[in-house]
Amino acid sequence: MSQLPIRRALISVFDKTGVVAFAGSLVKEFQIEIISTGGTALLLKENAIPVTLVEEVTGFGEMMDGRVKTLHPHIHAGLLADRSNPDHMRQMKEQGIEPIDMVVVNLYPFSHTIAQPDCTFDQAIEMIDIGGPTMLRAAAKNHKHVLTVCHASWYDRVLLAMQAGDDAIQSLRRSSALAVFQQTAAYDRVVSQWLRSELRAQDHLDLSTDATDVPDVPQWLPIIDKPLRYGENPHQFAHLLLHVNDERAVDLTVGDEGLDSAKAMSFNNYVDASAAVDLCEELHRGFDGRPACVFVKHTNACGCCVDNDPVEAYRKAYVGDPQAAMGGILACNFNIEADFATAVMETYDRLGKAAGAGGFFVEVWSAAAFSPQALSIIRERKKWGANVRLLQLSRFEESPHSHEMDLKKIAGGALLQQRDTLGLNESKWTVATKRKPTEQALADLRLAWLICKHTKSNAITICNDGMLIGNGAGQMSRVMSCRIAAWLAKENGHGERLSGAVAASDAFFPFSDGPEILADAGVGSIIQPGGSKRDSDTINFCNIRNIAMLFTGTRHFKH
């Protein structure tokens, strides 16, 4: 038996996932009295769980459409009373107030509300939670005596701790208090940033000189949406963080399956899918919406093509590197119809066997939309289709915002920078060599430059005929990246395509040794930022080998 027994729990949740089973266990297994409000109380009663309404505790009914219901001394004294302080307990007894030992509350989904395109100012205001954060903060402050539960993912953890006894409960009190203050702090940041943005837009205010001198909070600040099964590896925990006003992906598969479902998105799924979508969006903008298909493995493109025919774009993307495409991430910038779905589901039979691939499946597939017929084919045609995570995105037409931020993790902290949103700034490009690229080569140079931008540094990207044929990624030496890109092209049967191919480098060549490797492989045009002290050596080499070379004046390191 716990030294601080939990006898009364206040449960008031917006997201009611799992709350019936949790409350039922509290009552049946631990004989806990449940206090509840509104829709939560109704749901529990409908499931035969005994409930005491908040108004029975306070003696005061809900008012103002539910805005005022738990803001009452009989609730907050019950939460804040220090059980070890005799004077606190005396005052409670004199007022007829009973302690509340557990608070189960999750907040109004403000971030989700403001992400809706048709959300009005008044609707957003109504979704600012007041009572929920107030109760959570009160209970978390008094966590020595009150256990807080601020997310449905904690239900099983709480029940296990209660079964284990004192030490487990005490440890959980502290960790749950921390979770509360993290969540409410993030929640307030979301609200304040939204309101700041709205006031600036509506009233044309320069809030940077506001008399309150409150610093402008950048829009990258997140709220915790849900936990993931684990992080990059099974021994690491992880959460999904959603950006303010940026819930742009609709997951068609996760739904209510839960964290253990085969279709639940993992940490690595999200990272790789984001990389694939970012490149696909860039190609959509850079090539005027022509069909683009991208295969990504460990955040780097292993297959990519832009073509007028979606199926042909897919074929060329896949044959770019069939071995790497297996188990990868697929992104398409168009609606998926039945014929395209069939082509993808039959990839191994139609293309993979002939290319020597050992098999084929896709972990995540993102696209502008999936037709009902396409969904049926995907789910039924092949075994792997039943579990592929499908992401529907509608942001391909949007241009990136210069204010978007990029957060990089480091040990013990993080680094913040402006996101690299610069695309094909061709007005700054110059031809550095005597030879100029042909129109076909220039189109391939555009493709190679965008793929290279989205490849881990040091990066060398080789393309021909609108498709990626070799990508050298993440090497310590740029020369090695050149060798890998050329080797991959040959290894995947694109040796003939190397003749007249183009290559992109995300940063300048410090020497002419990299271009020499590319030239020896057959590359006829190169695009790079320029800016090396030895640019003249590289230019002279390209002139001798009759290679066209463009300088962009822009570097695209990606660490």
List, for residues 13-39, the tens digit of each pLDDT value: 888 888 999 999 999 888 989 988 888
Residue 397 pLDDT level (bands cut at 50, 70, 90) = low
What percent of the chain stands above pLDDT 70?
A: 86
Distance CA 76, CA 362 (A): 52
- Which one is predicted more confidently, 245 or 185? 185
Residue-wise pLDDT for 130-166, tens only, equals: 888 888 988 889 888 888 888 888 888 889 888 887 7
Q: In the 3-class helix/strand/coil scheme, how is 355-424 assigned residue by residue? A: HCCCCCCEEEEEECEECHHHHHHHHHHCHHHHCCEEEEECCCCCCCCCCCEEEEEECCEEEEEECCCCCC
> Which domain covers residue 348, as residue numbers?
267-393
Averaged pLDDT score across all residues of the chain: 85
Residue 207 has pLDDT above 60, yes or no: no
- Which of 162, 195, 228 is the C-terminal boundary of a domain? 195
Q: Are residues 436 and 342 in the same domain?
A: no
- Which of 393, 415, 434 is the C-terminal boundary of a domain? 393
CATH code (residue 118)? 3.40.50.1380
- Give me the active site residues, please: 141, 298
Span 168-175, average pLDDT: 83
* 256 inside domain: no
Q: Are residues 467 and 362 in the same domain?
A: no
Residue 224 pLDDT level (bands cut at 50, 70, 90) = very low
Distance CA 25, CA 65 (A): 31
Token reading at 233:
């590896």
Report the range out of 89-98, 386-395, 466-475 with the highest average pLDDT: 466-475
Span 408-428, average pLDDT: 86
The DSSP 8-state label assigned to residue 14 in this structure reads S
Distance CA 169, CA 42 (A): 29
Residues 6+ apart with CB under 8 A from 440: 465
How many structural domains is the chain composed of? 3
Q: Are residues 375 and 433 in the same domain?
A: no
Residue 429 pLDDT level (bands cut at 50, 70, 90) = very high
* 332 inside domain: yes
Q: Go through 361-400 and write b for each residue having 16 or more CB atoms within 10 A of its CB, e for each that does not.
A: bbbbbbbbebeeebbebbbeebebbeebbbbbbeebeeeb
3-state secondary structure of 434: coil
Q: Are residues 376 and 461 in the same domain?
A: no
Q: Are residues 36 and 184 in the same domain?
A: yes
| First CA to last CA distance, the chain | 53
Distance CA 429, CA 460 (A): 18
Q: Are residues 368 and 497 in the same domain?
A: no
Residue 201 pLDDT level (bands cut at 50, 70, 90) = low
Q: Are residues 446 and 378 in the same domain?
A: no
**74, β-bridge pairs:** none
Query: Can you give the pLDDT at residue 228?
Result: 79
Query: Can you give the pLDDT at residue 398?
Result: 65
* 217 inside domain: no
What does the DSSP assignment read for 84-111?
Answer: T-HHHHHHHHHHTPPP--EEEEE---HH
Q: Are residues 378 and 527 in the same domain?
A: no
pTM of whole model > 0.85? no
Out of 174-183, 258-267, 274-283, 421-430, least confident range: 258-267
Token reading at 504:
């992109």
**Are 420 and 278 within 8 A, CB to CB?**
no
Distance CA 445, CA 426 (A): 11
Residue with tokens 């940077």: 208
**Are 9 and 33 within 8 A, CB to CB?**
yes
Q: Are residues 369 and 503 in the same domain?
A: no
CATH code (residue 544)? 3.40.140.20
Q: Are residues 82 and 184 in the same domain?
A: yes
Q: At what angle do helices 513-521 and 535-544 cross, to 10 degrees?
A: 20
Distance CA 108, CA 187 (A): 10
Handedness of CA 21, 22, 23, 29 (dihedral sign): positive
* 543 inside domain: yes
Query: Can you give the pLDDT at residue 214?
Result: 42
